[in-house]
Amino acid sequence: MIPIEDHFILNRIFIIVCVFLATISVGLGQHSLKKIDYPVNSDHLDEICPVVSYDEDILFFTRVADPNCEKTLFVDSFDVFLTMDETKYNDKLKQVFTQIAAQPIADPYASSYNQDIWYTKLKNSETEGIFHPGYPINDVLPNSICANFGKQHKYLVINQFATFGGIDRGFSMTEKSGIDFKFPTPIHIKNFTTKSNEVNITASLDTAILILAMITKDSFVHMDLFVSFHSGDHNYSEPIHMGNGINSPYRESTPMLTHDGKRLYFTSDRPGGYGGKDIYYSDRLDFTYTKWSVPQKLNPPVNSIYDDSHPHLLKDNDVIYFTSNRDGSSDIFKAKLLRQKLEKEIVITFHMINGETGKKMVGELSWGEAYKDKREGFFRAKDGICGYKFFENKPMSFIANNRNYKSQEVIIDPQELANAGIYEQTVELILYADSTYGKQAEVPIVVHQNEPVAITEQDLKKTIMLDNIYFERAKPIVLTESYPSIDKLAEVLLTRPKLYIQIVGHTDNVGDKDALRILSEQRAEAIKTLLIERGVPSARIDTHGYGDTKPLGPNDTEANKSKNRRVEIKIISQ
């Protein structure tokens, strides 16, 4: 373990890398494809690496370059975020991140090395709230949960850590207990070496097998997949190359082994994909984990012409979570992989409409299996109306033509219609001349005068003190003179429906440390309860208590102690 010192070279750590590309939205009719709702996915930041807990009640993800990251940075057992002023701390971060990247980093917060672990609760497969845990699972350096590590809310995270400060290449195991995480324990892999800061890992459900994606001295510039076997305690064997059947001369990364251990999903940029990075799967052929079936790529809508990666399968091997940058920034998506047999046929009636006159026009409807080049079916509709019946549960692509007029291509997935209970539908295909095809009128931007002023980026970077909050002495009971401040906070939350906060409680150092931490948590919960009573949804409020561990100053006088007894509001998404 290498301690963090002024001369510490920090390029020995791992990050989960995401690619920044400008993209546009995907087309219509995707099979059970869903982009996870705000506040998990943000408009401009990158969310990557989804991992669902074994119990399927928590979705973890990694957020990149968020100015609201955890600021803790231990140097020689001291958190310099608490001891340095803002200028010195930012200078220290620039030094640290420049050493990580081996090139100048002017803004550490905007760097791809700024990665934090976040999570949301899953209730009936829907997300509920957003949570940003603090130290020790997060600090100001790269943090990411890569995989489940067994069934008991244990997880593999990148890098290895020392309590006094310091970070090194490798992996660790952490455990979630309630809202807290235990300090990560190192996982030891024999003769583990890699030439890159980027690495990925997955584990079998019994933790006997690790599968890694990394760059070694033999693989030169591209990542390959390797397997490592458990050898006792937290020790694993030297990684073994998984063979050229699953590896290629290109890049294989982000592996995910299914719960039954029979199938491996991974990402590759090999030729023959849909474009960018695509998600593939391969079936294990023997116990050595070095012989695999020929990898097969997933069909759209999971794979696209953009970068699709970080697959994570639920226990039924039907639902997949993954990362894609198809909407501009990297986001978390989910989709169903298995198709049900249609209970009855689905009838689609197409109306071919002249885009200039708005009237029906003669046209030829062409169709074929979606995501393939061939359009073998066609019908010429003299009255501009054509019907199509779905007998099989396959997504189909349709396009209308008439000489130099054509419509946009429309993909219709019968599974989506069946899920919604729709068995008859009319679809208009708008045909435009080639010269105007694809052009759309600009939509005016409407600004509502009564909209509240947006929270600024500077607000996101700071913690807001909740003033005039009073409790009964040594109890989590809020006194009534605190209600005006709580009413004001509730008003702000109710007028900003996309605002999510964390209420953080602190105490002075008088009393047992465990009791102080519990008291600070209970006080934060008490304020949350009052906000809920005022109509604020519970899912938008996270709470945490730090006891006496994060004082604003020394506890040497009653005045200073009163400053340390405080409640803070941390904006975690808006």
Question: If pLDDT is split at 50, 70 and 90, which confidence band does 20 have?
Answer: very low
CB 400 within 8 Å of CB 429:
yes
Whether the model clears a pTM of 0.85, i.e. scores above it, the answer is no
Q: Which amino acid is at 462?
A: K
Instruction: Output the pLDDT for position 453.
Output: 40
| Residue predicted with more confidence, 216 or 174 | 174
Phi, psi of 155 (to 5 degrees): -140, 150
User: Distance (Å, rounded) from C-alpha 216 to C-alpha 200?
Assistant: 13
Q: Which of 286-295, 425-434, 547-556, 562-571 has the highest mean predicted lDDT (pLDDT)?
A: 286-295
Instruction: Output the pLDDT for position 246.
Output: 92
Instruction: Encode pLDDT of 96-106 as tens digits.
Output: 888 877 788 88
User: Distance (Å, rounded) from C-alpha 4 to C-alpha 72?
Assistant: 13
pLDDT at 538 over 50: yes
CATH of domain 35-336: 2.120.10
pLDDT at 137 over 70: yes
CB 176 within 8 Å of CB 153:
yes
- Domain 346-433 = CATH 3.30.1360.120: no
User: Distance (Å, rounded) from C-alpha 188 to C-alpha 172?
Assistant: 8
Instruction: Output the pLDDT for position 13.
Output: 53
CB 566 within 8 Å of CB 465:
yes
Tokens found for residue 80: 């310099």
CB 94 within 8 Å of CB 101:
no
Question: If pLDDT is split at 50, 70 and 90, which confidence band does 185 have?
Answer: very high
Cα 114 to its chain centre, rounded Å, is 14
Q: For all residues of the chain together, what is the average pLDDT?
A: 84
CB 388 within 8 Å of CB 378:
no
pLDDT at 439 over 60: no
CATH of domain 457-573: 3.30.1330.60
Residues sharing a CB contact under 8 Å with residue 466, sequence separation 6 or more, in sequence order: 485, 489, 503, 527, 566, 567, 568, 569
User: Distance (Å, rounded) from C-alpha 243 to C-alpha 524?
Assistant: 53
Question: If pLDDT is split at 50, 70 and 90, which confidence band does 5 have?
Answer: very low
Instruction: Output the pLDDT for position 419.
Output: 78
Helices (H), 55-136: 80-83, 86-101
pLDDT at 456 over 90: no
Summarize the confidence of residues 387-402 as an average pLDDT.
90
Q: What is the number of other CB atoms lying within 10 angstroms of the CB of residue 254?
A: 26
Instruction: Encode pLDDT of 312-370 as tens digits.
Output: 999 988 899 999 999 889 999 999 887 778 888 999 999 999 988 889 999 999 999 88
Q: Which amino acid is at 210?
A: L
User: Domain residue spans in the chain?
Assistant: 35-336, 346-433, 457-573
Q: Which amino acid is at 84?
A: M
